[in-house]
Amino acid sequence: MRIARIAGWCLLWGALLPAQTVNCLVAVVNGHVITLVDVQVIAEFGLARRTAESPAKDPRLAALDALIDRKVVLDVTREARSVDREEATAALDEVRRRLGEAEFGARLRKFGLQEKDLRSYVEEALLFEKALALRFSRSLPVSRTDVERHYREIYVPERVRRGLEPEPLDRVTGPLEAQVRDRDLKKQMETWIRDLRSRADIRIMKDCLE
């Protein structure tokens, strides 16, 4: 019954969108609705956070993954509840700069959106990143062994592939340590999000994406 009501709401909203924009219900995550327009907006404006598991062949699938991640994380996070207006404006301006003013405006018109409507998507993305930053400390320790392995297995082969002479380990220890820390943090975040998703009530309507 709840899904039926939501679907009806989507049809009503779809009637208000431009004729070329078709809307339908893509997913419900712990009661939070994700529509086709949500997915398309995230994909077209490049607002999906890329992860190792994000599908690359269809931007809409990556966008749906990003939206589900945000819903399950923000559902259990109480600390990150607001975004500074200037921070949101800066993020929105970055999207405009990346796309170019003309393309930015064209994509807004495609979905019948105003800039203030896109701001809500940007703010949710910022809240998601803030929630992850609050939970996972950047002071994660990195062992010398891990740095040496990264140097040997990643750094040196990459330099050789580019035709460059590898720097001695002692000269690049700092940057490599930062890379290893970022890699380990990303793995921790993805494991946590995967666990949240496994315990969440997620219903996906695949027909809507076809």
Q: What pLDDT digit, counting tens, does each position of 40-53 carry?
A: 999 999 998 755 44
Residue bearing the bigger pLDDT, 50 or 59: 59
With H, G, I as helix, E, B as strand and everything else as coil, classify residue 2.
helix
- Do 28 and 59 have their domain in common? yes
- Do 125 and 202 have their domain in common? yes
Tokens of 47: 């607002």
Q: What pLDDT digit, counting tens, does each position of 125-141 carry?
A: 999 999 998 888 777 88
- Do 81 and 182 have their domain in common? no
CA distance 193 to 140: 18
CA distance 192 to 29: 17
Number of domains in the chain: 2
What burial class does residue 91 get, using C-beta atoms within 10 Å of its C-beta: 0-12 exposed, 13-18 middle, 19+ buried?
middle
The two beta strands, 32-35 and 202-204, are unpaired
Q: Look up the CATH number of the domain holding residue 88.
A: 1.10.4030.10
> pTM of the entire structure?
0.79
- Do 150 and 75 have their domain in common? no
Q: Which domain holds residue 86?
A: 2-136+190-209
Q: What pLDDT digit, counting tens, does each position of 91-106 carry?
A: 999 999 999 999 999 9
- Do 166 and 202 have their domain in common? no
